[in-house]
Amino acid sequence: MEKKGQYPHRRWNPLRQSWVMVSPHRTQRPWQGEVGQKTLPSAVTFDPECYLCPGNKRAGGVANPKYDSIFTFVNDFAALLPEAPSHPDLTSSGLLRAEAVRGLCKVLCFHPDHSLTLARMTQEEIRPVIDAWAAEYTELGSLDWIKYVQIFENRGAMMGASNPHPHGQIWSTGFVPDEAAIETQAQREHLAKTGHCLLCEYLKTEQAAGERIIFENDHFAAVVPWWAVWPFEVMLLSKRHVGSMPQLDTDERDSLADALRRLCTRFDNLFETSFPYTMGFHQSPTDGESHEEWHFHAHFYPPLLRSATVRKFMVGFEMLGMPQRDITAESAAERLRACSETHFWPR
Over the chain, what is the mean pLDDT? 92
d(CA 323, CA 197) in angstroms, rounded, equals 26
Q: Are 308 and 271 in contact (CB under 8 A)?
A: yes
Pairing between strand 277-282 and 234-238?
unpaired
Most confident region among 24-33, 100-109, 338-347 by mean pLDDT: 100-109
User: Region 264-270: what's the mean pLDDT?
Assistant: 98
Q: Which residues contact 162 (CB under 8 A, 6 or more apart)?
A: none
Q: Which residues contact 159 (CB under 8 A, 6 or more apart)?
A: 276, 277, 278, 303
**What structural domains does the chain harbor?**
38-84+98-337 (3.30.428.10)
Q: What average pLDDT does this structure show over 101-125?
A: 97
184 CB contacts (<8 Å, ≥6 apart)? 176, 285, 291, 293, 294
- Are the beta carbons of 138 and 104 closer than 8 angstroms? no
121-141 pLDDT per residue, tens:
999 999 999 999 999 999 999
pLDDT of residue 29: 56
**So which residues are the catalytic ones?**
167
Residues 139-190 pLDDT 10s: 999 999 999 999 999 998 888 888 999 999 999 999 999 999 999 999 999 9
As a whole number of angstroms, the distance between CA 244 and CA 178 comes to 18
The whole-model pTM stands at 0.94
What is the rounded average pLDDT of the residues 42-61?
A: 94
